[in-house]
Amino acid sequence: MTDDHGAFVPGGRVSRGPTGSGALDGLRFAVKDLIDVEGVVTSGGNPDWAASQQPARADAPAVRALRAAGASLVGKTVTDELAFSLEGENHHHGTPRNPRAPGRLPGGSSSGSAVAVAAGLADVALGTDTGGSVRVPASFCGVFGFRPTHGRVPLDGVVPFAPSFDTVGWFAATGEVLQRAGRVLLGSTGPAASPLRLVRLDDALAAADPGSRTRLVPLARALGALDGFDVFEGDRASWLRAYQVLQGAEIRETLGGWIAERRPRFGPSIAPRFHGLAGISAAEVDTWRAWRAAQVHRLHALFPADRPTAWVLPSAPGAALRRTASPDDRGRFYDVALALGAIAGHAGLPQVSLPLATSDGLPIGLSVIGPPGSDEALLALAAGLDTDHP
């Protein structure tokens, strides 16, 4: 029996054939267990959520699009509980094993999807990305990952988490397949996108651990990012806190009623996160909403109107965390990872994670963020870099 690395939801593999023929003929895809597949309960990685749901009445639009283009569904993948983690652990379903970094975490919350692609069990896998849930596991598992412009891929049939940040993203082992799947999911029909001028986000690169920074900065320059600037303007902590408060307030709005009614069982690392949402005040939310609006305006204005430009940064703070990582190590990881993820998250920008480097033999991702609607250009960049990589 083929080792599935714990990527798929326990209890029997879900499979569905294609409903049409097209750009994805012959490809296999997997679906994160936050996204509906007709006739299957979307469990959200939590048994009490599963018990409160009925089987999905229809495929989510992203699932429907892939099947219509010729791809076959080969399973639903493990997710961190209701998407509230970047580590890739699940107390109830088990933690998928990272095939590119044994003994290390796969990253989350789209853990099973990244592992399925890294292990060759699927050609494409759907995930969701709110604060880095595609970008971090793509980096940890050494695969391509994509977070689209907010709103480009419909969120119908997806468990809501923090809707102003939520996106449906995807993974692939090659840039060419990432682009093919992306054109289907985005409904792209136009000509090839214009090449992007790359610029470094120097303070974001400086936030990575030393081993990763040593590899990523020269790689960014080799890709053409000869100029750089500081995106955080000396205040990375505000990017982190704004994301924590605004994401938390939205999670409380979308899931708080269900939690109060059902009193669900959460794993020991997840329960305190949901419990902590009660402490977010209305005044904090108002303060950080205004801050976010100002930063979104600033970021959008930083993209020159006369030349397509994109920004280069780390996908994650470093290589995959050890499964035995201490609470302090995990806390330091989150402080940097959430701030990095919030650049695209706050502004609704598209971002691609490229598996072009390693640190001490472990995958590390280099990311590129583009202006709103530049998804096709980022996918073309990934396809153009599609060569042997670690």
**pTM for this entry:** 0.97
Of 355, 333, 356, 339, the closest CA to residue 108 belongs to 333
**pLDDT for 172-192, tens place per residue?**
999 999 999 999 999 988 777
Average pLDDT over residues 70-99: 97
Average pLDDT over residues 122-143: 98
The answer for residues whose C-beta is within 8 angstroms of residue 154's C-beta and 6 or more apart is 60, 61, 62, 168
| 15 is annotated as an active-site residue | no
Of 24, 26, 44, the closest CA to residue 34 belongs to 44
Q: How far is CA 284 from CA 183, 248, 279, in A?
A: 39, 11, 10
CA end-to-end distance (rounded Å), the chain: 27
Q: What are the structure tokens assigned to 189, written together?
A: 């029909």
The β-bridge relationship of strands 197-201 and 144-147 is unpaired
| 32 is annotated as an active-site residue | yes
CB atoms within 10 A of CB 314: 30
Q: Is 53 helix (H, G, I), strand (E, B) or coil?
A: coil
Q: Active-site residue among 85, 133, 139, 367?
A: 133
Average pLDDT over residues 195-222: 97
Cis geometry, peptide bond prior to residue 109 (ω within 30 degrees of 0): yes
The β-bridge relationship of strands 28-32 and 72-77 is parallel
Q: What are the structure tokens assigned to 133, written together?
A: 């849930």
| The 3-state secondary structure of 35-60, one letter per residue | ECCCCCCCCCCCHHHHHCCCCCCCCC
**Model confidence band, residue 1 (pLDDT cutoffs 50, 70, 90):** very low
Is the predicted pLDDT of residue 194 greater than 90, yes or no?
A: no
Arithmetic mean of pLDDT over the chain: 96
Return the C-alpha torsion angle 45, 50, 55, 56, nearest 10: -50
pLDDT of residue 387: 54
Stretch (H or E) spanning 310: strand 309-314
Is the predicted pLDDT of residue 381 greater than 70, yes or no?
A: yes
Average pLDDT over residues 192-198: 86
CB atoms within 10 A of CB 360: 10
307 close to 94: Cβ distance less than 8 angstroms: no
pLDDT of residue 3: 83
Cβ density class 163-185: b for 16+ within 10 Å, e for less: eebbbbbbbbbbbebbbbbbbbb
pLDDT of residue 2: 64
Is the predicted pLDDT of residue 390 greater than 60, yes or no?
A: no
89 close to 54: Cβ distance less than 8 angstroms: no
Is the predicted pLDDT of residue 321 greater than 90, yes or no?
A: yes
Cβ density class 286-296: b for 16+ within 10 Å, e for less: eebeebbeebe
Q: Active-site residue among 43, 72, 85, 109?
A: 109
Rg (CA), the chain: 19
Distance CA 375, CA 186 (A): 8
**Model confidence band, residue 130 (pLDDT cutoffs 50, 70, 90):** very high
Which amino acid is residue 146, in one-letter code?
F
Is the predicted pLDDT of residue 290 greater than 60, yes or no?
A: yes
Q: Is 118 helix (H, G, I), strand (E, B) or coil?
A: helix
Instruction: Give percent of the chain with pLDDT exceeding 70.
Output: 98
Q: What are the structure tokens assigned to 102, written together?
A: 């044994």
**pLDDT for 31-63, tens place per residue?**
999 999 999 999 999 999 999 999 999 999 999
Is the predicted pLDDT of residue 14 greater than 80, yes or no?
A: yes
Stretch (H or E) spanning 87: none
pLDDT of residue 195: 87
Distance CA 122, CA 265 (A): 31
**pLDDT for 58-76, tens place per residue?**
999 999 999 999 999 999 9
| 109 is annotated as an active-site residue | yes
pLDDT of residue 192: 72
Q: What are the structure tokens assigned to 229, written together?
A: 């600037």
